[in-house]
Structure 1
Amino acid sequence: MTTPTTAEVGRGSREPPVVEIDGFRGWLISADHADYDLARAIWNGAIDRRPRLIARCIGTADVVAAVRFARDHDLEIAIRGGGHNVAGTAVCDDGIVIDLSAMRAVRVDPADRRAWVQGGALWGDVDHETQLHGLATTGGIVSHTGVAGLTLGGGIGWLMRKYGLTVDNLLAAEVVTADGELLRASEDEHPDLFWALRGGGGNFGVVTSFEFRLHSVGPAVLAGPILWDAADAGEVLRFYRDFVRDAPDELGTVVRFGAAPPLPGIPEDLHWRPVVMVGTCYAGPIEDGERVLRPLRASRTPLLDLVGPTPYVGWQSSLDSAVVHGWNYYWKATHLPELRDDLIDVIAEHAFSCSSPRSYVAMFHLKGAVSRAAEGGTAFGNRQASHAITLDAVWLPGENFGDQDTAWTRGFFAALGRFREGVYVNFLGGDEDPDRVREAYGDAVYDRLAGVKAKYDPDNVFHHNQNIGPREMKARTVAT
């Protein structure tokens, strides 16, 4: 199953809506619309919700109209950007989904190294336009990740150790508030709101456009995966720990544990074989990257080494077919410290105990520019963690792996308990304890966010998210 494009939903089969929204020019899709089931489907196929109305916006004025309509009619509001939303909060039952997925425009000023991006864009849209000028900013590692969701939660990606998180490159945002007002947030305009948007998620309004700082990247970078047999996981991780400790900021790495997916370049005899895969991307001169990566590439005789010069925009989309729209996903996640031997033993023991060949573990190396930014300078928390790890149960619709691998994920997460150091809010699932949202920020940042929430959304209108309630209000999340 794939998620339909904007052109496939609404256009060509538009039917008269059950309701009208004053000033709304996009598509209104209700349960009797031919495209309703396509329009309510999101990336995570395990989510099955039935909103009363989907308001697919084509501009900021539509967003304003939809928010005001929802408030006037006391409707639950869910906000959908363009991307993944593993927790499923982008769609609600019996409310209105304000859908920005048709708003995907990107404009680049190469001289000033800035980009303006609409709230429904995907990172593939941004990379496509910015790489025309040899520019980029930190984005997701999958091209169909949504710009809005990734940015508002913080934004980790291949470039973060060199150029910071996505929020560290956000210069301004246009936001529709719970009152249906349009504000511009920046260091100079509504700075409290701007601070909160940089990591606080979708709690404070609907962001209809972002302004980003860009950097010289590519068009070619040294990038690619290195694969080792799963039996070597412990020794590979010990070498990796020592290797990344002194790695330059230009080197981004992600370690993946699981069956080798049938991606281009991976020989057929390795497909579905349990492997440790280290993805690499060097955001600097290719000859420097060759020197930096040489020790890792020579370690323990890899099964496969695909590192080489490659277009940055191609590397950004290289994992797309391994995380397909419509598959079922269940995640647990945490931040981790440096990889001590006892932590490595826990990871090696649990990482390959899943049942579904599509389930996997992903571990992102942080530090670099991420940890040098001031703690509390943005709402992103836990900047001193060394790694972020996700434990991802994945199974196809109709398969029977769901219960087994959900249990595997929970058991693995429990085994990591004594090593946990907070969590990345974008990696939280839909059935989390509300205290985990506080864990994503720490007490000081969370309490400050609750104060901003009380100012801009005192009624907690925007609560279909990893929720931060207004000050004095207990946080709540929406269960899957």
Structure 2
Amino acid sequence: MAARSKAHTALAALREDLAGEVFAPPDPGYDEARGGFDARIDRRPAVIARCAHAADVVRAVRFARELDLHIAVQGGGHGPAGPRVDGALVVDLRRMRGVTVDPAAEAVRVAGGATMSDLDRATQPYALATTGGRFSTTGVGAYALGGGTGWLDRAFGLAVDQLLGVELVTADAERVHANADENPELFWALHGGDGAFGVVTALTLELRELPAFSVALLLCPPESGPALVRAFREVVRTGPDEAGGAVLYLTGPPAESGLRCAALLTYAGGEAGLRKLAEPLLALPHETDIVGALPYADVQCLLDPPPGVRHDGSAECLADLPDELVDLFHARAQRMPASPGSRHALFPLGGAIASGPREFPVAYRDASWIAHPFACWADPADDERETAWVREACAEVRPWSTGDVCLDFVGDEGPERLRAALGAGNLLRLEKVKRRWDPDDVFRFGHTVKPV
């Protein structure tokens, strides 16, 4: 009874103190607030604190520690899989979406709840950009702290390579900064170690000049897929680092008439350079093509997954893309579920990713490609079939895998996959950082290491 009274009093005080909203069952709005990107995840946190600013985050963390609650963080984006956070406090950052551009310093400060759309539309008027994800709905914070691969990674490097500073609230409800000079060991851990060390309320990222951005999007029937994949492979292999993109089989928009193979060639430059690069692709028989300059922020929306349905995805980092693997990729796509939004993608790596800094806990720099099966569906009765397709698609390409993992593409797939993402040699160092900043393992949801 005393514990219940203490919790009631603390919750009342939190409601009073927060500039944002507080939701607990059975409050109106609780069910909406607890919902996530993946409709499979039915999470019932004890309390959701939708914070308006960093001071709210401090108050929410203090509340959780007073009641001995674990803490999960809801950033601005969708994430590959929502955490099961029953009985925990969720610090919801989705009101904290501010983006401040400093064009003179070529840097941008991004609040913890901002999405790629928020970031890219803020930097675009200055002809500046930083490496972002491949969906406009991706949250900047978790994406960057997990490594960060996207349309500009071959030209600029991974998102984490652009990290200049981090502001976070620790498990002791203290606001701290981490950069090259202040808390440098924590700053190192945040370069790929994800959000295991506190609630990130803002990041500062380096910007690069991007005066023009161009794309070539081609669609062809599935039987023409192997030829298109091979041609795309050679265009990227022989092209400059400014060339990137994806080749994929997909259903639903923009493939309205069923399964199609698509090549999306991106180019950090003008239309003339893109057209020259795309010549081998355009020479192949295809049904539709769109070629030309396009604002970078608009490209982020092209492949956005549908919200409010059930999702599953995973990934394998590949050492190479030989013809045998191209044929397997094609065959697996023929068995892809027909639900709109599903896709089986290959993303090229290399370029500035491979030449980037080696000291950070990001293990996949030497991979050449990422294979990414991603399924969307509405009916719970299809859960087993859809998730099996994703797992089988990964298993088929594993003979060509480097063994590394890109955290941005996977949910909680166990400690061995986490070790593969961070690099075995980095794990003990990360565990020591965790012990320093979160010895009680308060932040234990998602991709988190344990305190040593």
- Name the TM-score, length of structure 2 as normaliser: 0.93
The residue type paired with residue 443 of structure 1 is A
For the residues of structure 1 that align with 2:375 and 2:236, how far apart are their CA atoms? 27
* Aligned partners of 2:361 and 2:423 also within 8 Å: no
In structure 1, what is the Cα distance between the partners aligned to 2:217 and 2:247? 9
Aligned residues: 441
Query: Match for residue 226 of structure 1?
Result: 218
Taking the aligned partners of 2:135 and 2:127, their CA distance within structure 1 comes to 19
Distance in 1, matches of 2:421 and 2:297, equals 30
Displacement of 1:345? 2.4
Among residues 402, 409, 427, which one is paired with 2:409 in the alignment?
Answer: 427
The one-letter code sitting in structure 2 at the alignment partner of 1:40 is R
Alignment match, 1:468 = 449
Check conservation: 1:394, 1:402, Cα contact below 8 A.
Answer: no
AA paired with 1:229? Answer: P
Which residue of 318, 330, 337 maps to 2:319?
337
Aligned-partner Cα distance in 1 for 2:287–2:320: 26
The answer to whether residue 430 in structure 2 is matched with residue 449 in structure 1 is: yes
Matching of residues 141-290 of structure 1 within 5 Å: 141-218=134-211, 220-259=212-251, 261-263=252-254, 271-290=256-275
Equivalent of 1:69 in 33, 44, 63 = 63
Alpha-carbon deviation of 1:382? 1.6
Q: Of the candidates 5, 24, 33, which is equivalent to residue 30 of structure 1?
A: 24
Distance 2:232 2:120 in 1: 29
What is residue 84 of structure 1 aligned with on the other side? 78
The DSSP-based 3-state class of the residue aligned with 1:307 is strand
User: What letter corresponds to residue 449 of structure 1 in structure 2?
Assistant: L
Return the offset for 1:337: 1.5
Cα RMSD, aligned residues only: 1.8
**Unmatched runs of 5 consecutive residues or more in structure 2:** 1-8
Task: Please point out which of 398, 402, 405 is paired with 1:417.
Answer: 398
Q: Which amino acid aligns with 1:58?
A: A
**Cα separation, 2, equivalents of 1:176 and 1:70:** 13
In structure 1, runs of 5+ residues without a counterpart are 1-15, 264-269, 472-480
1:18 deviates by: 5.2
Distance 1:135 1:240 in 2: 27
Q: 2:355 aligns with which of 368, 372, 386?
A: 372
Secondary structure of 2:371 counterpart: strand
Percent of pairs with identical residues: 39
Give yes or no for contact 1:356–1:401 (8 Å, CA) kept in 2. no
Q: Secondary structure at the match of 2:31?
A: helix
Contact 1:354 1:404 in 2 (8 A): no
1:50-69 equivalences in 2 (<5 Å): 50-69=44-63
- Contact residue 363 and residue 388 of structure 1 kept, 8 A: yes
Q: Secondary structure at the match of 1:203?
A: coil
Deviations 1:424-466 (A, max 9, x none): 0121124x13211001122112232222212211221111011
Match among 105, 119, 143 for residue 126 of structure 1: 119
Q: TM-score, normalised by structure 1?
A: 0.88
Which of 106, 109, 117 in structure 1 is aligned with 2:99?
106
Partners of 2:388 and 2:34 in 1: CA distance: 28
Q: Give 1:79 deviation, angstroms.
A: 0.5
Q: Which residue of 2 aligns with 1:304?
A: 288
Once the two structures are TM-superposed, the CA of residue 17 in structure 1 deviates from its matched residue by 10
Cα distance in 1 for partners of 2:428, 2:164 equals 24
User: Which letter maps to 2:23?
Assistant: I
Distance 2:445 2:437 in 1: 16
The Cα shift of 1:319 comes to 2.4
Pick from 345, 356, 360 the counterpart of residue 362 of structure 1. Answer: 345
